[in-house]
Amino acid sequence: MKIDPFLPALLAVTALAFIWPAPGATGGPLHADLAATFGVAIIFFLYGLSLPTRRLLESATRWELHLVVQLSTFVLFPLVVILAAPLLGRTLPEAVVVGFVFLAALPSTVSSSVAMTSLAGGNVPVAIFNASVSSLIGVFVTPLIMAWYLNATGGGLALGDVIVKLILLVILPLAVGQALRPLLIAQVERHKTLVRLADRALILAIVYNAFCDSMIGGVWSGKSPLLLVEMVTGTLVLFAVVYLLVRLVCRLLGFDEPDTVAVLFCASKKSLATGLPMARVMFGASPQLSLIIAPIMIYHFAQLVIIGIIAGQMGGRKAAETAREEAP
Residue 98 and residue 137: Cα distance in Å, rounded?
20
For the CA atoms of 262, 266, 267, 271, the dihedral, rounded to the nearest 10 degrees, stands at 170
| Amino acid found at 256 | D
pTM: 0.86
**188/84: higher pLDDT:** 84
For residue 191, the surrounding DSSP H or E stretch is: none
Q: Are 267 and 73 in contact (CB under 8 A)?
A: yes
**What does the pLDDT look like over 7-53, one tens digit per residue?**
888 889 899 988 988 888 888 888 888 877 788 888 888 888 887 76
Q: Which domain holds residue 236?
A: 6-317
CA nearest neighbour of 162 among 174, 178, 150: 150
Helix axes 94-105, 289-326, angle to 10 degrees: 40
Q: What angle do CA 274, 276, 281 make, to 5 degrees?
A: 95
In a domain, 148, yes or no: yes
Tell whether 323 is covered by a domain.
Answer: no
For residue 317, the model assigns a pLDDT of: 78
pLDDT at 46: 86
In a domain, 266, yes or no: yes
Q: Is residue 152 part of a domain?
A: yes
Indicate which CATH number applies to the domain containing 78. 1.20.1530.20
| pLDDT tens-digit series, residues 247-267 | 999 999 999 999 999 999 999
Asked whether residue 71 is domain-assigned, the answer is yes
Q: Does residue 90 have a pLDDT over 70?
A: yes
pLDDT(1) > 60:
no
Among 157-166, 196-205, 236-245, the range of highest mean pLDDT: 236-245
Count of structural domains, the chain? 1
| pLDDT, tens only, 211-224 | 888 888 887 877 88
